[in-house]
Structure 1
Amino acid sequence: MTTAPDRPSNPCQPSLWKQMLPQSLGLFALAMLSGLAFAAWQANGAALLNALAANGLAWCF
Structure 2
Amino acid sequence: MYWCEEMRREFSYDLRRKMTMLVCTTLTDEYELDLGGKTQPSVNIDDLLYSTYHLLA
Normalising by structure 2, report the TM-score: 0.29
Higher relative CO (CA 8 A, sep ≥ 6), structure 1 or 2? 1
